[in-house]
Amino acid sequence: MIPKYASDQKGSLETAKRADGKEEKKAEVTPLATGKIDGFTAGTWHNLTLSFKGNEIRAGLDGKEVACVQNDIRKNGMIYLISSYDPNCFDNLSVTP
């Protein structure tokens, strides 16, 4: 399977091409927040924090909060971490209830 993304203003759709050449819908993703971080340096280690409490989701980068959103779609469930197709590394990952 070869994954690819198609993006528009409403979100992203991930599809995968199977060995027989047919495309298969994998997931539909709607971003909760987007933005640009001034002074971000790719290729160096950063500290990412995510906090989930009730319907509030907070994201921090290198000690600074970069997003806080309210979302009622899921009250509990799974947390997953994804990245782009560029090389990315994760270290010291911790999930604490």
Q: What is the pLDDT of residues 4-48, one digit of tens each?
A: 444 444 455 566 667 787 777 766 667 788 888 888 888 889 898
Residue 68's pLDDT is 92
Q: Does residue 56 have a pLDDT over 80?
A: yes
Average pLDDT, the chain: 75
Residue 63 has pLDDT above 50, yes or no: yes
Q: Hey, what are 89's tokens?
A: 């590394």
- Which CB contacts under 8 angstroms, 24+ apart, belong to 50-59? 50/79, 52/79, 57/32, 59/33
Amino acid at 17: K
* Token pair for 96: 């604490």
Against a cut of 0.85, is the pTM above it?
no
Average pLDDT over residues 37-63: 87
